[in-house]
Structure 1
Amino acid sequence: MEDHKIVQRNIALQREWYGEPLGDRVRRLVVAFDVSQASLADVLGISAPMLSQVMSGRRAKIGNPAVLARLIMLERKILTPDVASGRREALQRALDDVRASKPAVTRDNLPVDVGRSAIMALRRLIPSDHLTEAAAALDGRFPELAELLRHAGKRI
């Protein structure tokens, strides 16, 4: 099978197994946590080349369930107010917590279809200049919400 066809098949399998291509999910984490792909691989407990292969579709799945569990943990942490604010110390604390975790993986605690983060939803729905404007308007009264909107207004 040609390389291109293999990649297409693997990405289709990722959609079926994980709800969307893993490259999309991983890129959201790289942006949300403002880290390199290699740093994220370290947090997840996977080699950087292996993560790159999964992201590009050269590999269809993450073979280690604990790595997938950590990926899901990070996706969930994006939704917490502290991390969603984009504060560097909160982001680092979340990354450190996940890196140190030893997830027990069972069918009951490893959902495959995880919702998108609030930041990504805002980016999809609202132009970045509107998010930045809203952040400025909310700064005095709701600084945490303003910071979240400012973070969402940053484009990839």
Structure 2
Amino acid sequence: MREREVVQRNLALQRQWYGEPLGDRVRRLVVAYRTSQAQLAEVLGISAPMLSQVMSGRRAKIGNPSVLARLVMLERKVFTPGVAAGESEAVQQALEDVKGSRPALGRDSVPVRQAGNNEEVAWPALRQIAQPHELEWAADLLDGYHPALAGLLRRAACGGSGAEDSGSA
């Protein structure tokens, strides 16, 4: 029973850290690239037994950031036209590209979310495409149908200074 509890805890941690269990993500890649788990492990730069342990939940995380980066690279390459169409050459090329890559995680390669109010990330983007009075105007148009979106536009217009107008006419 102890091992089962550890596996359940590890799978819960994987959901928290990676959005879902790594076994689900890896199985999708095995199918998409029509490869074996052992071959996928080689492409990722991890041993097959280690990948198996991570997939089954006997291990909680992938310790090497480069391995995780390669996993994400493979997930993204699934959507390239040749790979998506199942073309053998494109699939093989994608696997070779990822296997030969030397990804590095740095401060510019990982998105940062602000701890408190995630919508603050949207404010600068909104202010780049519209002036405050335009954001207010759009908020007025949306207010009756989408009050939450209208509120976001108003907060962006005022720079998040707290001068939110909850319902202008």
Assess same fold via TM > 0.5: yes
Counterpart Cα distance in 1 of 2:110 and 2:28:
19
Structure 1 or 2, whichever has the larger Rg, is 2
Shift of 1:52: 0.1
* Paired residues for 1:135-150 under 5 Å: none
Does 79-88 or 53-62 show the bigger shift? 79-88
What is the RMSD of the two structures over their aligned residues, measured on CA atoms? 1.2
Q: Which runs of 5+ in 2 are unaligned?
A: 112-169
Q: Which has the higher helix share?
A: 1
- Other structure's SS at 1:109 match: coil
**TM-score, length-normalised on structure 2?**
0.64
Q: Quickly say closer, same or farther: Cα 1:45–1:13, change in 2 above 3 A.
A: same
Quote the Cα distance in structure 2 between the aligned partners of 1:107 and 1:9. Answer: 29
Instruction: State whether residues 66 and 103 of structure 1, in contact with CA within 8 Å, keep that contact through their aligned partners in structure 2.
Output: yes
Q: Which string of whole-angstrom CA distances, capped at 9 and with x for unpartnered residues, describes residues 61-88 of structure 1?
A: 0000000000000000001111101011
Q: Which amino acid aligns with 1:16?
A: Q
Query: What does the per-residue CA deviation read over 1:102-127, in whole Å, with 9 as the maximum and x for residues that have no partner?
Result: 0011254246xxxxxxxxxxxxxxxx
Residues 24, 110 of structure 1: alpha-carbon distance in 2 compared, 3 angstrom cutoff: farther
Partner of 2:103: 103
Superposed, 1:1-156 pairs within 5 Å as 2-110=2-110
TM-score in terms of structure 1 length? 0.69
How far apart are the structure 2 equivalents of 1:54 and 1:102?
21
Instruction: State the percentage of identical aligned residues.
Output: 73
Code of the residue aligned with 2:32 in structure 1: it is: A
SS of the residue 2:61 aligns to: coil
1:69–1:110 Cα contact (<8 Å) kept: no
Greater relative contact order: 1 or 2 (C-alpha under 8 angstroms, separation 6 or more)? 1
Q: What is the number of equivalent residue pairs in this alignment?
A: 111
1:37–1:107 Cα change, 3 Å: farther
